[in-house]
């Protein structure tokens, strides 16, 4: 079970992570939290105002964030007309805050679960609900790494052939490892 999920029955899963794997995954999730940014303010904020808060209307300029928070209308990377851009902005304005919150919560859930291993590594057992959070968090990491590596469907196979001297190799290894984890989690949930 080294670094991949196995079925624990009834849609739940288990994964054995050694100390290094847990540390790498935790580090990646903490970086994801930093990329997503802090959540809405707490404390003295008016809860009713927070309920009606509006998000941004423009797509993020960072390619990784644009991949995590894509426009709802139009094709990625293709020009759109003014009506489509306006509709995408309106959709973003009312949905991005909640989407960021969910992505932040998924990443935090994974970090907290890994913190429970106390730096020694071990086996994590996930309920079906926890599996969904992990699946979301792993997907977000892969999307981010894929954007940073500028991965397309056509060149994904070429990632396996990168020489060890390529500076992208550590990110590629993480990208491929996360893909294996994601696939094994989907298989485990289906069993």
Q: What is the pLDDT of residue 43?
A: 43
For 28-47, the pLDDT digits (tens) are 999 999 999 987 654 456 66
Determine the Cα–Cα distance for residues 26 and 8; give it in Å rounded to an integer.
Answer: 23
Are the beta carbons of 35 and 65 closer than 8 angstroms? Answer: yes
For 80-95, the pLDDT digits (tens) are 899 998 898 899 888 9
Q: How many CA atoms lie within 13 A of 11 on its CB side?
A: 7
- Residue % of the chain over a pLDDT of 90: 62
Mean pLDDT, residues 104-116 taken together: 96
Please state whether 12 falls in left (phi above 0), alpha (psi between -120 and 50) or beta: beta
Decide which of 92 and 158 is more confident.
92
For residues 76-109, one letter each, b for 16 or more C-beta atoms within 10 angstroms of the residue's C-beta and e for the rest, the string is eeeeeeeebbebbbeebeeebbeebeebbebbbb
Determine the Cα–Cα distance for residues 16 and 124; give it in Å rounded to an integer.
Answer: 6
Dmax (CA) for the chain in angstroms is 55
């Amino acid at each position: 079970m080294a670094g991949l999920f196995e079925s624990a029955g009834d849609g739940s899963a288990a994964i054995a992570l050694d100390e290094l794997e847990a540390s790498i995954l935790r580090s990646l999730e903490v970086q994801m939290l930093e990329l997503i940014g802090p959540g809405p303010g707490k404390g003295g904020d008016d809860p009713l105002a927070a309920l009606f808060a509006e998000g941004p209307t423009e797509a993020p300029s960072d390619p990784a964030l644009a991949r995590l928070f894509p426009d709802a209308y139009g094709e990625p990377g293709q020009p759109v007309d003014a009506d489509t851009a306006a509709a995408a902005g309106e959709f973003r304005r009312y949905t991005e805050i909640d989407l960021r919150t969910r992505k932040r919560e998924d990443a935090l859930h994974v970090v907290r679960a890994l913190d429970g291993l106390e730096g020694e590594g071990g086996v994590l057992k996930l309920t079906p609900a926890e599996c969904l959070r992990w699946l979301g968090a792993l997907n977000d990491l892969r999307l981010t790494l894929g954007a940073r590596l500028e991965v397309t469907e056509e060149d994904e196979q070429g990632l396996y052939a990168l020489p060890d001297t390529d500076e992208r190799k550590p990110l590629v290894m993480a990208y491929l490892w996360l893909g294996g984890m994601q696939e094994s989690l989907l298989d485990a949930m289906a069993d």
